[in-house]
Chain A
Amino acid sequence: MSVSMNRQALQHLVSDLAFCIDDGEYDRIPQFFTEQTLYLVIPKREHDLGRKVGFMRCESRGMLEDRLAAMKNGNIFEPHQYRHIVGNVLVDDTADGVIRMRTPFLLVRTSQEGAADLFAAGKYLDELVLESDKLLIRKRIAVLDSHRIDTLLVLPI
């Protein structure tokens, strides 16, 4: 089966996921990923060195669900609002049924006190596959330009 090269569908997926995160549709977030997905948030400096440890590393959709459940049910933090500005998807490769692509992003975090600050800048390195006619993320590496996070990171990037 050949993977669709419909760029609009790829852009839609990335934007849709960003809006899920920003709009608090947490139950939909894991549905974008395969069961054995890898979701890694890591500084560029570390990623370029080939290291595996970043800020968040979910090695399955279940681990991602667990992080979201912990966020909803137990972790303590001041409520805040994310706003993703997602750039254009750039497709690098579509061999072997895997779409490898890159998308830059800026992420503003607005605090409960009202400060709207640039929280992160980076790129998503995504690998997408087709499962039962649905495009899913089997790997997402959110490479952050900075190695520094302000205060805490709880809502996935």
Chain B
Amino acid sequence: MSIETTRRAVQWPDEGYSAVPYELYSDRATFDEEQEKIFRGPVWHFVGLDIEVPKPGDYKTSYVGITPVVFIRDEDGSINVLVNRCAHRGNLVCYKAQGNAKEFTCVYHNWVYDRKGQFVAAAFGKGVGGKGGLPADFQPGEHNLQRLRAEVFCGMVFCTFNTEMPGLQAWLGETMLGNIRRVLGRPMKILGAYSQSMPGNWKLYMENVRDTYHPSLLHFMMATFNYNRHTATGGILFSDDALHHCSWSADATDKDSSTYSKNLRAVRTGFQLKDPSVIDYWQEYPCGTTAAIQSLFPTCVVQQIRNVIGCRLILPKTVDSCELLWWILGCEDDTPEQEAIRVRQSNLVGPAGLVSMEDGVVVGWVQRATRADPDKTSFLQMGGRDIAPTPNSRVTEVSVRSFWRGYRQLMGQ
């Protein structure tokens, strides 16, 4: 006799993506399903930067969802992305975070793979003294490291498990490519890298990134020092399907002194910096954009906050925890003064970031406050209930709604 249990499908209310069921932040079965449908689905996933593997043989480990992967620079300059798991008995092949290797050797039983992950040899594969060894019908081609499709754009390495989906650039679309090119389309260098663990579901962080409503309300330094306020010119751009977004603003246009003085907690009119050099900046882009936060579905962020440029990757760890990787970048041709400005401004971002530290906090708070009520939903109607680009306003949650639309489509919800 078999007992069938049918798992109840996630109940989205009639409001659709403008009311998110809280169970999506705490349901373990959903977390597992995401690994299959999103992280192994028709999606390109960011894993790292090509400047982290400059020479042939250089490799770095990363993750796609919870799957450990490694990306390696091949002899011809291309980058291969492989699942970091030996085809023999599942050991971790690259156990150092970074290195250089002519080929991959799994230390457990000395199985060897080339830089494309092709099986080369297994220790004592032919036995010793005529005894033992692999079976006669062993097919080396069936025991390669699992290889993903990989593409690089402006130094960003993306990969996918999916064999049929369009290429990376077609999937991102020209609007999104344009912003990546603007910020990262130059020879870059890493000024710093670190990570931040958060006690909440990974989607809570992505909602926070795509939430253009909160920055100058939660992060008091933004309200107080005219960063990314709603009184600056700005808007939200989308890819064609609104899977990816880019919110932008130009602080030089923010001359309004009254809108932000109305009983908003984040406004600290008496607050003055003893050393204002931390907010020194130069107008780096001819278009005048001083802040642009771009999300590439489902887990990647490209940021420009004045002169702090870089990218982020959110990794799901458990249903109620995630890890955010940060890369803080500069340009190879920065003058010493420009680099010094970027280095000082780096105080604005990261887990100690003067305009970002609260994001980790709210992710944990929402997780804590919603886990007991999986049947309830959020109210995501700032700026309306639908999804359309808002070229002139950021007082909206439209890009959070569009994240959920994309999520529902991939998950079949």
Contacts and interface: CB of A to CB of B under 8 A. Distances in A.
A69 B270 CA distance: 11
Interface in B82-124: none
A66 B275 contact: yes
B357 interface: yes
Interface stretch (A13-21, A73-81, A89-97): A73-81
A153 B347 CA distance: 11
B64 interface: no
B351 interface: yes
A50 to B, nearest CB: 11
A51 B357 contact: no
Contacts of A147: 193-195
A116 interface: no
Interface in B224-280: 224, 266, 268, 271, 273-275, 277-278
Contacts of A9: none
Nearest to B359: A152
A85 interface: no
A106 to B, nearest CB: 18
Interface string A20-48: 00000000000000000000011100100
B194 A62 contact: no
Contact of A74 (B196, B268, B274, B360): B268
B337 to A, nearest CB: 14
Interface stretch (A52-60, A121-129, A131-139): A52-60
Contact of B197 (A55, A66, A78, A151): A151
Contacts of B346: 53, 57
Interface residues on A, range: 35 or more
B274 A154 contact: no
Contacts, number: 117
A70 interface: yes
B221 A70 contact: yes
B302 to A, nearest CB: 17
Contacts of A75: 220, 354, 357-358
Nearest to B350: A55
Nearest to A56: B352
B309 to A, nearest CB: 12
Contact of A152 (B268, B278, B347, B358): B358
A151 B194 contact: no
10 contacts: A51-B190, A58-B347, A62-B273, A66-B278, A150-B199, A151-B198, A152-B196, A152-B352, A152-B360, A153-B351
Contacts of B273: 62, 66
B360 A55 contact: no
A28 B266 CA distance: 26
A76 B363 CA distance: 13
B221 A55 contact: no
Interface in A141-157: 147-154
A42 to B, nearest CB: 8
A77 B361 contact: yes
A54 B351 CA distance: 10
Nearest to A65: B274
Given A74-B224, A149-B194, A56 B347 contact: yes
B192 A52 contact: yes
Interface string B326-370: 001000000000000001101100111010011011001100000
Nearest to A154: B357
Find the residue from B193, B347, B350 having the highest chain A CB count within 10 A.
Answer: B347
Given A54-B194, A63-B277, A153-B357, 19 more contacts: A51-B190, A54-B192, A55-B194, A55-B351, A57-B343, A57-B347, A59-B275, A63-B274, A70-B220, A75-B354, A75-B357, A75-B358, A78-B361, A148-B194, A152-B196, A152-B357, A152-B360, A154-B352, A154-B357
A151 B358 contact: no
Contacts of A58: 347
